[in-house]
Chains A and B, each alone.
Chain A
């Protein structure tokens, strides 16, 4: 008996018990959809964060509160105190050879214009922000020193934000709403293209003082330092640590841009795997559901198995018939689950602030895991079926 024949028989059997097949699949559907969705959220967050760091320029040092044991891992000690704008000014006064010292706040926010809205990264700095953010002004201007001092509600838009909110229009002078507060658009930027992950153009730029109000924070996240030339990076790093020691002791860390990216993507990658693991458990439960229903099915169809054996079905024929049935259940459930997970991720990123990005590897992993679940949990019931004695099976009522 060939494989296609087994598939046909399996589908006929599944179609004969539609409600049961569907309910059994539901377990796998939920499991796979959860894997896709949660991994999508993990990946989306990772992309958003790494994208916002890549959006910063070169020759940069990031000064962070807190102590990190090693640049590529280890446990960060929670900082006992955050930076303020004044800390940035202090570094600027005390360390030489720096082009700019910029206090930076980055955070997610929702921007709206009319009925259009978008999830963006707010990149807030001082008037020197253009030294550290690599975007180039397309039209309009950067915010000014006076606007930083006054915490004015002015904003410059990244290219995709412009495209999304003002398609075919000039955004200059228009007003937008960020986190419910009204802003005036003073400039917009050229498209930079995406980095290896994340959309750097999905950022908006505003004065750091404004961002503190909008996001409701008093401190700042990071101090970004632009060193005059690349040879001066190590010296600048040592100087910064030295001048900040009286204020922060050892609870301060200076990273170069590459180190920062490495740490964050490691951290968020781990988070993504964790989410995948949790979702995987529900897939496992779905698999047990398949095994359960296959055992019932074998029991119910004992006589059918007897008939098939009487007319010449070999052990292998019966085994493959039931394994294929279980795999068909799990693979169909997997397919539907992928569709739901994918759709859910799209809806989620479109309608809520949660970013999500469904990657091919997550889809492939969920699919093959579902397939594996079908094989693993289908083999035992199928083995039971294939070992039935035809005489006993034919007599079964």
Chain B
């Protein structure tokens, strides 16, 4: 099947989802009301609370939620064939991610734009606040671990990308300083930055940087592991630098790269008219491969549904919403944008990387090879799409590697910054004052735990452990989404509206995530993985805790809704 046909079919399904399903959500489930002033107006302060044009707000929201995660998950998951991955991305985006992202904005807007963490305590219960912190802690730990491995693998596979990425750091700092000192608009310096970055790709091709000469073949000091250690040293330092020095100007470059990459994939597929050579269902997978059910639903988190989005929806987006009806466009359409990135990843790994089905089976011969090479497969696929547009293929592959590494590096930088706060907050709760009061100590903890996880396999079959680490990351992401959906479901129920549209993805996610955790736990114990097994067990306990809290909160909410049905006076717990 030509890849463009898949693009058109998914495009139509996303359109129908946006047109009809998000319309149903807006009218019947979230009951949007444009006469109700939003916190951006009632609490306007010109800094956090500021009414913003919906297209601009969509841009803010989308660039905040889009990153490398919706690329890596589908690139691994096509191991089971493109059919299951595509169905989950499309169904997940329409019936789960859209409901979740849209709902998180609405609930937050109706509660003075409070963040989902605060709402969890208020709507679900005080204990749930601790649960939320623990889930976020494991989510960020695994985010930092998996993205360090992703970058390490890409550096090993594409030594030509190392120099451009190294030069991007002083380039971004220079752009930031220029804009800051001259107070000029960011457009021209950012575009110059993107052009210079792509020129350095040519330099990188002339001067590839490889650590193969000083690295061991296997064991702890493999080339990838040395890169991982260097990355965490870099991240520890970068996360201590004020955001406007490096993170902010690099984001200017990255935002342009996001749109360039999406354009290259779309145009490349159209111009090249590539055919999908991967099978719908992979019937040549080895017999001992992990089963797609239920692992598919934690392998693809971002791109189908991601709990991280609820943090952005309630943290910043809800404070800038001009009117309630904008939540539909910003939230639901943001989820569709993320789903489109996942579709791009599926296309790159099924139509872009190779020309024949036999070659595809070689690239996805087993789960270890598939997960280890997933990001490289995406990079090669996008490189092929860029080559369709006339860019030399070798240069195009480095371009794609630079895009993915830039996203992943920014995610790590942000992840360590956030993790520091979470570590400090947890330390405050358990009264470990030296940690709660020291940025250095909390920063070290934020870096060392994921470093250990990233180095865990000690080389050798690193790919298998990466795939498993990725799935563990997926479980924490899905639990965050579960928590946000619980908050939304409780709020909808309390307001005597039908919560079925929220409950279905909530129950589905919780069941699949718990199932996947049990499935993995059995494997870890059988294979004596004595670091991953306890980690999996802890996340499993968090999942059970979430189920209990959500069930109790929903039961209470139904009681409140029943009481209110006999009492016309709204209570404090209902609509605000």
A pairs with B: no
